[in-house]
Structure 1
Amino acid sequence: MIYGYARVSTKEQETRMQIDALDAAGAQDIRQEKCSSVGARPELRKLLAELSKGDVLLVYKMDRIARSLKDLLLILESVKQAGASIRSLTEPLDTTGPIGLFIVQVLGAVAQLERGIIRERAIAGQVAAIKRGVVWGGRKPSLSPAQSLEALKLRSDGKTQQEVAEYFGVSRSTISRLEHPAAPRSSTKRPVLSQYLNPPEIAE
């Protein structure tokens, strides 16, 4: 089955141009909705759930179906898991062929790079804050800024989290949170703070 999806941002706009293009491209079942890309987009979610092996999803432009690169990658993954493919009528994205699959891989690499840059900036900011003695809101931290830096140095020297925790009289989870602040539920390994520290500045 060849599906088509058309979307405009407001009820005052019309999907006619998109529908005509999708129909001319061979779409057999066209879904449409008038809502912002930040909305729920129920027709799109329903369509993605109906896709099966061998189906093709046609869109006029990728910004009609995705609100961001992250959203696009999630949609592409959903289409892939269904065994279907997706094609944009106005852009070089067609996962039915090798070039389109390569573009998807490039998009994934760009997104991963973007996440890595954001993560490193956040960690660098946290390290700088620790060195300045800045404390974030919430309960009082178990370790002082100087102790936090020393703990990270001990970890970088090969001490286990349990050994460092016992040395400072805190829980092992305190040391784990120090190394991996606000870690998301993901299998992606996060760089530890000690990678960004300057050992000579550690207070002995």
Structure 2
Amino acid sequence: METVRIGYARVSTDDQSLNLQLDALRHAGCAKIFTDKLSGKSRRRAGLDDALASLNANDQLVVWRLDRLGRNFRHLVDIADELRERGVNLISISEGIDTSSNVGEIIFRLMSVFSDFERNVIVERTRAGLAAAKARGVKLGRKPGLSASQVAQARQLLQSDMKMNAIARQLAVGRSTLYRYLHRET
């Protein structure tokens, strides 16, 4: 039975490019390449689901890097276990991993652990940075949709029988934002 290489590429956001990964997967001889543009944390990825569904025994799932497949150790191991049960090997181009050998399988498991560790360190640093910024008095989160003076202006316009849609347009906000601010301060 002939081995078919199926590629999978992922970027986290729409403004990122898949080109580097696609070039590497084509160069690796992938017959078909599936893609996603969303976070690796998400387990529900249409491109990945389609890639996995297209694999048969003796095929190979090829990724540019393990973190493109998933950022979570448990998810990576689940995928690898599913592939192994189906007789499919996993290849990571950048890390030089090929699970068709015992050494490749061990390297995959180690890289999965390090990938999960790296993600946890990033989360930890982000939380610490946010806490430090908050302690310094930095306002975190989304910029307010309306200032206090705009809310006062909206209340005056509402009392003068101006319609909510017109007030929202004048203040350049959505109706739901206007309603939320008007009800917040009552």
Please state which band the TM-score falls in when normalised by the shorter chain: 0.5 to 0.7
Secondary structure (helix, strand or coil) at the match of 1:48 reads helix
Q: CA deviation at 1:8?
A: 0.3
Deviations 1:102-133 (A, max 9, x none): 3345578x69xx9xxxxxxxxxxxxxxxxxxx
Q: CA deviation at 1:20?
A: 0.3
Given residue 35 of structure 1, which amino acid in structure 2 is its aligned partner? L
Measure, in 2, the Cα distance between the counterparts of 1:105 and 1:9. 23
TM-score (norm 2): 0.54
**Cross-structure match for 2:60:** 56
Give ranges in structure 1 of 5+ residues lacking alignment: 115-204
Q: CA deviation at 1:49?
A: 2.4
Matches within 5 A, 1:1-12: 1-12=4-15
Measure, in 1, the Cα distance between the counterparts of 2:110 and 2:25. 26
**Cross-structure match for 1:20:** 23
Matches within 5 A, 1:113-192: none
Secondary structure (helix, strand or coil) at the match of 1:96 reads coil
The one of 30, 37, 41 equivalent to 1:38 is 41
Secondary structure (helix, strand or coil) at the match of 2:36 reads strand
Given residue 32 of structure 2, which amino acid in structure 1 is its aligned partner? D
Measure, in 2, the Cα distance between the counterparts of 1:106 and 1:18. 22
Give ranges in structure 2 of 5+ residues lacking alignment: 118-186
TM-score (norm 1): 0.50
Given residue 24 of structure 1, which amino acid in structure 2 is its aligned partner? H
**Cross-structure match for 2:89:** 85
Misfit runs of 4+, over 6 Å: none
Assess if the C-alpha contact under 8 Å between 1:48 and 1:78 holds in 2: no
* Higher relative contact order structure (alpha carbons within 8 Å, sequence separation ≥ 6): 2
